[in-house]
């Protein structure tokens, strides 16, 4: 029909010349109908009207003749393409290879397969490589050169390795149409990968999960976790619940752990009432919640500011209705209380209830309390807590010193304690720079050097970044000079910071001048 319309247009309007795209579509249609001779006539007409056939024209026509056993013509076209200066891509090699394998020409097939690998290695278009690879696998399977299930499994594995999980799922549908069942490993790899690819990928993963029930697919715990988290991330709690219910119906699973994974995923919904429903479901199914279960629910309440609900759960735990709270429970509660400004209650829990439960604060606990107190500008209490921390020999980390009074804190408390390292120096420097106190930050760094300490390059980069943000070009390069003087070479981060200062202009001459 399309050809007749085209012929009519040409006969009534001799000046009309169809585009290359129209010709290529016609060639493809004839080839799909197993009429490559007609396709070749269109190809010749295309050339007679001044068009130069491109790689699409040749590849389509080669494929058409190869499908009907016209290997000699396909080879002629391949040679003609080379003579015309058109380089075949990996897809061209693959369609010609299919024709060779169809004729059972094994040796030539091996030679062409090697040529295909070489071409695919240099192919930049990943979709072209995937199509060529699919052609090869299909040809090998059709001609009985390899076991079909093995070949399809290799194809799925290759696609998953490069993150093409959607395309790998299409291979599964191809297998099912041919009555083949993918291996559990291959199938799981696709479901796991799709679960992490946003809404479209997650929904496709759920669909595959449902279809996999037909042949006994059961996602392992890691895939189950990725799938329910993905579904909760797109706010589809019902589907996440369906997956959880299916997992719970299987024998031999750690029921409490499955519930905990679902509860953890529900944090992404910001609706603790959903988690309470799960908790009720656990009791109805004679599944006793553990400390991880309750910590997850407490965290969700604290995250949205409903600290009183979190405290009710803590009190039930303290009264023996549930399991005993651990350091994570208390740390979460303390963080939640300080976030809403309830200092007195937080310190009561910290100083009284935690010791009553024989629960010692960890570094994370101290960090939460110090950060919360400093955020509320209760610096005296923060310093008191820090003194207590030092006396108990709890090792501080970089978050411990993220306070507005960083410099004073350092001089009066941290330095005498000897509990400090490169991360601590970086935190103090960053705090001073964020306050716009670059001079003090530089003095602090130079004092460290005078005391025999060798700060790492990250500390210099913080100062350079601070100077750049204040548009202090000379000061930035003075820090670079000090860095070189102390035996350090600027790294890629240093150069990126300086590049921003110059807004992409060359900085070499400026650096040489200042140094």
Give the tens place of pLDDT for each residue, 346-386.
999 999 999 998 888 888 888 888 878 877 777 677 767 77
Total Cβ atoms within 10 A of residue 270: 11
At residue 330, the pLDDT reads 93
Structure tokens at 111: 């030679």
User: DSSP assignment of 252-266, as one string?
Assistant: T--HHHHHHHHHHHH
Residues 6+ apart with CB under 8 A from 233: 202, 268
pLDDT band of 511, cuts 50, 70, 90: very low
Nearest to 126 by CA among 161, 154, 152: 161
349 SS3 class: helix
Residue range 50-73, pLDDT digits in tens: 888 898 988 899 888 888 888 888
At residue 335, the pLDDT reads 92
pLDDT band of 147, cuts 50, 70, 90: low
Contact criterion met (CB below 8 Å) for 81 and 52: no
At residue 409, the pLDDT reads 56
Q: Which residue has the higher pLDDT, 453 or 353?
A: 353
Total Cβ atoms within 10 A of residue 13: 9
Handedness of CA 246, 248, 251, 253 (dihedral sign): positive
| 386-to-329, 346, 382, 412 alpha-carbon distances in Å | 21, 16, 6, 11
At residue 405, the pLDDT reads 47
pLDDT band of 513, cuts 50, 70, 90: very low
Q: How far is CA 388 from the centre of its chain?
A: 41
Taken in order of first residue, the domains within the chain and their CATH numbers are: 421-515 (1.25.40.10)
Residue range 272-324, pLDDT digits in tens: 888 888 888 888 888 888 999 899 999 988 988 889 999 999 999 998 888 88
- pLDDT (mean) for 122-143: 74
How many helices (H) and strands (E) would you count in the chain? 31, 0
At residue 398, the pLDDT reads 46
Distance between CA atoms of residues 156 and 164, nearest Å: 9
Min mean pLDDT across 73-82, 146-155, 213-222, 434-443 is at 146-155
The phi-psi region of residue 179 (left if phi > 0; otherwise alpha if psi is between -120 and 50; otherwise beta) is: left
Inform me whether the pLDDT recorded for 407 exceeds 70: no
Distance between CA atoms of residues 167 and 178, nearest Å: 17
Distance between CA atoms of residues 259 and 294, nearest Å: 11
Contact criterion met (CB below 8 Å) for 381 and 347: yes
pLDDT band of 410, cuts 50, 70, 90: low
* Average pLDDT over the chain, rounded to an integer: 81
- pLDDT (mean) for 99-121: 77
At residue 397, the pLDDT reads 54
Min mean pLDDT across 4-13, 41-50, 404-413 is at 404-413
């Amino acid at each position: 029909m399309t050809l007749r319309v085209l012929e009519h247009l040409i006969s009534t309007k001799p000046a009309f010349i169809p585009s290359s795209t129209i010709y290529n579509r016609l060639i493809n249609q004839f080839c799909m109908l197993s009429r490559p001779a007609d396709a070749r006539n269109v190809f010749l007409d295309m050339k007679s009207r001044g068009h130069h056939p491109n790689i699409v024209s040749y590849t389509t026509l080669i494929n058409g003749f190869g499908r009907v056993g016209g290997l000699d013509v396909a080879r002629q076209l391949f040679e003609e393409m080379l003579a015309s200066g058109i380089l075949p891509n990996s897809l061209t090699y693959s369609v010609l290879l299919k024709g060779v394998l169809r004729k059972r020409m094994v040796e030539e097939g091996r030679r062409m397969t090697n040529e295909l690998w070489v071409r695919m290695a240099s192919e930049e278009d990943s979709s072209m490589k995937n199509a060529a690879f699919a052609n090869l696998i299909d040809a090998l399977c059709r001609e009985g050169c390899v076991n079909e299930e093995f070949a399809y499994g290799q194809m799925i594995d290759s696609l998953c390795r490069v993150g093409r999980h959607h395309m790998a799922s299409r291979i599964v549908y191809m297998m099912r149409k041919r009555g083949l069942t993918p291996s559990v490993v291959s199938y799981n790899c696709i479901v796991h990968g799709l679960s992490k690819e946003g809404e479209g990928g997650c929904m496709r993963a759920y669909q595959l999960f449902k279809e996999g029930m037909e042949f006994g697919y059961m996602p392992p715990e890691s895939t189950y976790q990725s799938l329910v988290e993905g579904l909760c991330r797109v706010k589809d709690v019902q589907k996440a619940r369906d997956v959880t219910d299916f997992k719970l119906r299987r024998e031999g699973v750690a029921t409490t752990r499955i519930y905990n994974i679902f509860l953890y995923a529900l944090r992404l919904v910001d609706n603790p009432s959903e988690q309470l429903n799960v908790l009720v479901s656990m009791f109805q199914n004679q599944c006793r919640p553990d400390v991880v279960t309750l910590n997850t629910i407490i965290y969700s309440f604290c995250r949205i500011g409903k600290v009183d609900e979190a405290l009710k759960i803590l009190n039930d735990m303290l009264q023996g209705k549930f399991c005993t709270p651990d350091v994570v429970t208390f740390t979460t509660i303390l963080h939640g209380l300080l976030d809403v400004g309830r200092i007195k209650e937080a310190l009561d829990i910290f100083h009284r209830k935690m010791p009553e439960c024989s629960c010692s604060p960890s570094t994370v606990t101290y960090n939460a309390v110090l950060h919360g107190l400093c955020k509320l500008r209760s610096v005296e209490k923060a310093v008191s807590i820090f003194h207590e921390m030092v006396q108990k020999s709890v090792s501080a980390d970089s978050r411990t010193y993220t306070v507005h009074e960083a410099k004073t804190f350092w001089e009066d408390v941290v330095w005498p304690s000897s509990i400090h390292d490169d991360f601590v120096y970086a935190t103090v420097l960053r705090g001073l720079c964020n306050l716009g106190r670059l001079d003090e930050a530089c003095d602090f760094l130079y004092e460290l050097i005078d005391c025999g300490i060798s700060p790492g390059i990250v500390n210099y980069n913080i100062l350079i970044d601070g100077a750049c943000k204040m548009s202090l070009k000379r000061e930035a390069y003075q820090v670079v000079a000090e860095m070189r003087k102390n035996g350090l070479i600027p790294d890629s981060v240093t150069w990126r910071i300086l590049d921003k200062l110059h807004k992409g202009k060359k900085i070499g001459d400026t650096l040489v001048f200042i140094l």
